[in-house]
Amino acid sequence: MQKSDDYAAQERGFKYKVWITGGILSFILITLLLFKTLFSVLLLALAGILMSIYFHGGAGRLKTWFHLPYKAALAFSVLLNIVLLTGFFWFVGARLQQQVAELSETLPKTIGNAKEWLGHYPLGAKVLDYLNASGDSEKTFSVARQFLSSSFGILSDLYIILLLGAFFTASPSMYKRGVISLLPEKAKEQGKNLLDEIHKVLKGWIKGQLFGFMFIAVLTGVGLWIMDMPLILTLALFAGLLNFIPNFGPIIAMVPASLLALMQGPTTALIVVGLYTAIQVVQSAVTQPLIQKKMINMPPALVIFGQVAMGIVGGFWGVLLATPVVAIVLTTINKLYVERQEKNLANSIQKRDN
């Protein structure tokens, strides 16, 4: 009778463990599904946070320069950016729209010319035959469509980012206090320090990227102007904007310029490739140290892995925001784990020496 009761108790315990394990696995699966579903929304929230950091960074500069109250400096920072953006599109918008339309009409012809040029060479003919046989061109267009698509569409995403950015800019401390209030009492101070460090890292990233944008756009525009290339404004802005995407952005920016140069001859195309490459080399020597000085040191391989992984999950916004996401993850690991381990190691060495 005792053995029967023990067996029944063991069976109940086994069933209980099975239910617990099943519940944990179900919770993990549901969490992962929700995370995948909400990941694009989280990326838009991150974009809004970056916009808020940008406006508050400008407000800090204006407060220092003109000795304004902070709220007045913040309002002036937002207004100044709106005026600059409106003025840019007012004076350059029509020309830019015309160049973009011309580029969209010209690119198919330039791609055809590139295929024709490649067909004159044995290696190029083999490459074209391979692409046509494997159907990689269709795959490429499919990947491009997925890359340029997002959960709500680009215009809707921009509206959401602007809306979130406005709320975060208006009262960032409220959201910061809300996040800290979710932490246990003993972790609140550490959470506050972590958020401050993340803010510092993201602010440094924004500074470096803005400087890089101006640097790349101006140098590209000057170089293309010297070469008497068409669509200089569009190509220069395109190169500057894609500088926000490290590793892949400069290569993507070089493609339309190289195709347009190919219409003037292979030599011109090679010169354009050399121009873009030289600008990237100079940019790496000038702006990259500035970015690394303001941010934690991020291994390039880790950044590329983050871009590919987030591009698969989050599409366009995933690739664009991969670097700040990697920076946030590394900062969190560094503050919560690495620094603690280094502190424990230093304490253990000190105790041993004593």
Instruction: Confirm if 50 and 324 have CB atoms less than 8 A apart.
Output: yes
Amino acid at 255: V
Which residue carries 């617990």 as its tokens? 20
**The pLDDT value given to residue 15:** 63
As a whole number, mean pLDDT of residues 251-265 equals 82
Q: Which residues contact 190 (CB under 8 A, 6 or more apart)?
A: 335, 336
* 115-172 per-position pLDDT tens digit: 666 666 666 566 556 556 555 455 444 544 444 444 446 677 888 889 999 999 998 9
**R_g of the chain, CA atoms, integer Å:** 26
pLDDT of 313 > 60? The answer is: yes
Contact criterion met (CB below 8 Å) for 119 and 286 = no
pLDDT of residue 292: 58
At residue 67, φ and ψ (nearest 5 deg) are: 55, 45
Helix (H/G/I), strand (E/B), else coil: 221? helix
pLDDT at 63 > cutoff 60: yes
Residue closest to 114 by CA, chosen among 221, 269, 4? 269
Query: Between these two residues, 19 and 227, which has the higher pLDDT value?
Result: 227
pTM for the model stands at 0.76
pLDDT of residue 5: 56
Q: Which band of pLDDT confidence, cut at 50, 70 and 90, is reported for residue 249?
A: confident
pLDDT digits (tens, 9 = 90+) for 1-20: 544 555 555 555 556 666 77
Looking from the CA of 182 toward its CB, the CA atoms found within 13 Å total 5
